[in-house]
Each structure stands twice: as C-alpha cells, then as structure tokens.
Amino acid sequence: MATNCVITNGLALQSCVNNVPGIDELYVLTSTGACQNASFASITYNGNGSITALSGACSGLTFQEIDLVRNSAAALNEETSVNIASLGFTFNTNLTFTIPGYAQEHTNLYQEIVKNTESYFIVKLKTGKYFLAGADGGMFISSATIVSGSLPGDDQLYTLNLTSNGTISVPEMVVSTTLDA
C-alpha cells in the first residue's frame, strides 16, 4: 500500500512506497532488425485509458533495460498546458535519467537514444506501476550531456533529458508479469 512521502496531512502521494518515491526500472524501445525507427503500429487502450497491448511497426523491436545510475535524479514529470481560447490541452512530458558510461554497451545505447527522432520508454515506478512515456508520438531529446573526468575513478556519465507534447497524458500500462527486456 502506498504511503505519504513528505506530506503528513491532506494529499496522499500515490507514487511513494515506504517513503521512497521515484523510478524503479526504465526500458527503451530499440530496433534489432531492419527497422530504422523503433515505433508502434498500434497501441490498444482499455476503458480506463490504460494500455493493454502494443504492436510494433516492424519486426525486430525489443524493450532494452536502461542501467540507471544509483542516486541519480531520474524523474518522469508532466505539466498540462491549457489554451483557453480553443479549449485545448497539451500534456508536456519530461523524462530525465543518467546512465553510466563505463561499458561500450551503455555508450552505444546512449548514442542510439540521442540519434532517434522519436523514443518510447516504459517507466516502472517504485509503486510497481508501469507507464509508457512517449505513447502519443514519441519523446525527443531536449538535452544530452556527457560527464567525464581525467583521473582514475572519475565518473563517466550520460545524462539525457527527453520531452514530448501530446494530446494524452502518460498512460499507465497493464503488466501482469515481471517485464523482462
């Protein structure tokens, strides 16, 4: 059962378990086949707006787990922009995370995410809930930085900040078993 993170009266924060909020696991859709872009042909929603099925645009797509740097500021945020004149809503989603650069596979994944024109991420919160970031057209790089030191033991880190502007909020996914990349 979820408990409050900081607030002791009033609003209960639903993304907190044992006072630990945040992202538990992160996966990115990648192409291992002839596909140039890793994207979906269709996304199926249930009556509650949760995703129940995904269909790839081509074969050879897989979700690859991202090795998050421990104690990094990984976060999934969303703001809503309202256009009062046209009664329109835009959901502005932001995903920030840091991955280590100590292995070539991490460097390759960083480079693949940066050069994609659209990326899709499955985010598992510490509450056990899954969300598909980028469901409404993918997420795009707004900034990517590399930190590297010159001394032995210095960090080699890749920090990515992705954004999307969609017509739907980040949808929750119905995942009945443990998600393996």
Q: Whole-angstrom Cα distance, residue 112 to residue 59?
A: 18
Burial of residue 177 (number of CB atoms within 10 Å: 0-12, 13-18, 19+): exposed
Q: In this prediction, what percent of the chain has a pLDDT beyond 70? A: 84
Q: Give one DSSP letter per residue of 79-141, joined into a string.
A: EEEEETTTTEEEEEEEEEEEEE-SSHHHHHHHHHHHH-SSB-EEEEETTS-EEEETTTT-BEE
Position 69 pLDDT exceeds 80: yes
pLDDT at 4: 45
Over residues 6-33, the mean pLDDT reads: 69
**3-class DSSP state for residue 46?**
coil
Query: For residue 95, what are the contacts with CB-CB under 8 A and spacing of at least 6?
Result: 75, 76, 77, 121, 123, 133, 139, 160, 161, 162, 163
pLDDT at 35: 75
For the four alpha carbons of 7, 9, 10 and 12, in that order, the dihedral sign comes to positive
pLDDT, greater one: 81 or 35:
81
Position 161 pLDDT exceeds 80: yes
pLDDT at 95: 94
Confidence of residue 12 (pLDDT cuts 50, 70, 90): low
Is the pTM for the entire model greater than 0.85? no
pLDDT tens across 85-95, in order? 888 888 999 99
pLDDT, greater one: 128 or 152:
128
pLDDT at 140: 92
Measured CA distances, 85 to 80, 82, 88, 89, 165 (Å): 15, 9, 8, 11, 19
pLDDT at 133: 92
pLDDT at 164: 93
Over residues 23-48, the mean pLDDT reads: 85
Confidence of residue 181 (pLDDT cuts 50, 70, 90): very low
